[in-house]
Structure 1
Amino acid sequence: MKLPIHPIMEQSFAVIDREIGEHKFTSGEYAIVQRVIHTTADFEFAQLIKFSPGVIETAIAALQNKTPIITDVGMVRQGIANLVAQTFNNPIIVAVEEAPVALPGKTRTETGLLSCWRKFPEAIFVFGNAPTALLAFCEVLKNTSVKPAFAIGAPVGFISVVESKHALAKTSIPQIRVDGRKGGSPVAAAILNALIVLSC
């Protein structure tokens, strides 16, 4: 199944191609970088996005197998829901919505993430907003042999953001992450949407 592309997006991709010029990305990696730049108009993402070996092939298989997708916040779900529904219709669960009340000393998103992990440890995990949830996720991974399908680590901000991405980088799970302070729900959604397009 080939998903249609809007003419304005096609024109935007052509502009991005011209401005980036020669690069060392694989075709799959470039499709992701291109879509993130299209979403943000920020070419610095070409230096910030990092891919673990084989993650794109792993991600494609997980999406095609209808693996559940756990997002940290509702904005990420909003950004991916349309393409997910058009393609593999994976279940989407929002971590923060799984926790009406936070556990002591934790945020609601962190609390919800831990609940989602217990229910769906082999899911796809997408972080676009909450570094506390990403840190909790990485901590859980230290004490289990069960591995998630893959993770997208792209929280944005100043507090614990860089640390959460460093923690993810130290894990062995397949991952795409945005190093540094930049990221956000639109970026996380763009990465997953690009993977969905590659899966079709």
Structure 2
Amino acid sequence: MEIKHILPSDIEKTSLGIIKQELTQMGKTLPDDTEATVIRVIHTTADFEYADTMMFSEGAVEKGLEAIKNGAHIVTDTNMALSGISKKTLARFGGEVHCFMADEEVAKEAKERNVTRAYVSMEKAAKLGVPIIYAIGNAPTALIKLKELMDEGYRPELIIGVSVGFVNVVEAKELIINNDKDVPYIVNRGRKGGSGVAAAICNSLLYKLYR
């Protein structure tokens, strides 16, 4: 086994090239509009299964880009995803990144109502009065609450649903995929996902606009 000597500035470029090459060898061709996002997720996870399981509603990437350009904020369900999203790039378009999971009022209300903090966080986010892209990498209850809010007339700009786990994860993602409210989505079917994946998807959109 030979160690490759690659300049630090070339590591990411080389990695993305390897991913594209291996996808070609697997006989997988990704649509032009979603390719950068899927490749960014594979780069984050080293898991090529995402090439088959990531689902995009029609025009989801373009609608997400338009939302960012129009000043949309991003709300996520973990501080890890919050840390990973390029806040500086989003700020260039007037947006901010929020996570309310550690909010004391959210925690108190969730305990009183016997629901998750993620569930209450989505309610709090929906009241911000700004266009929002939701990036959910952990809690399926966040996706369940978003579906309830959509049924009540609320319309997110985009839902990124990549919750990870075993309890209600698959079912919650399907609620978003099968929503009949014309809300754009990027969802990874199945149990896989996570905060890193949610951040990677957000950054794939931001990098399209500014890098």
In the superposition, the TM-score normalised over structure 2's length comes to 0.86
Matched, 1:183 2:188: no
Structure index of larger Rg: 2
Q: Distance in 1 between matches of 2:131 and 2:91?
A: 23
Matched, 1:118 2:123: no
Structure 1 regions of 5+ residues with no counterpart?
none
Does the Cα contact within 8 Å between 1:28 and 1:56 map onto a contact in 2?
yes
Give the 3 Å change call, closer, same or farther, for CA 62–6 of structure 1 in structure 2. Answer: farther
Structure 2 regions of 5+ residues with no counterpart?
1-7
SS at match of 1:60: helix
Q: How far does the alpha carbon of each residue in 1:106-147 deviate from its partner, in whole angstroms, 9 at most, with x for none?
A: 111211111111224631111011111111111111121x41
Q: Distance in 2 between matches of 1:107 and 1:196?
A: 30
Q: How far does the alpha carbon of each residue in 1:37-71 deviate from its partner, in whole angstroms, 9 at most, with x for none?
A: 00000000101111100111111111112211111
| Other-structure match for 2:175 | 167
Matched, 1:130 2:139: yes
Does the Cα contact within 8 Å between 1:157 and 1:182 map onto a contact in 2?
yes
RMSD: 1.8
SS at match of 2:138: coil
Q: Distance in 2 between matches of 1:113 and 1:189?
A: 18
Q: 2:116 is matched by which residue type in structure 1?
A: T
% same residue: 34
Q: Distance in 1 between matches of 2:203 and 2:116?
A: 27
Pick the aligned partner of 1:48 from 47, 50, 53.
Answer: 53
- Residue correspondences, number: 195
Q: Distance in 2 between matches of 1:81 and 1:107?
A: 27
Q: Distance in 1 between matches of 2:9 and 2:169?
A: 34
In the superposition, the TM-score normalised over structure 1's length comes to 0.90
Q: Distance in 1 between matches of 2:130 and 2:102?
A: 17
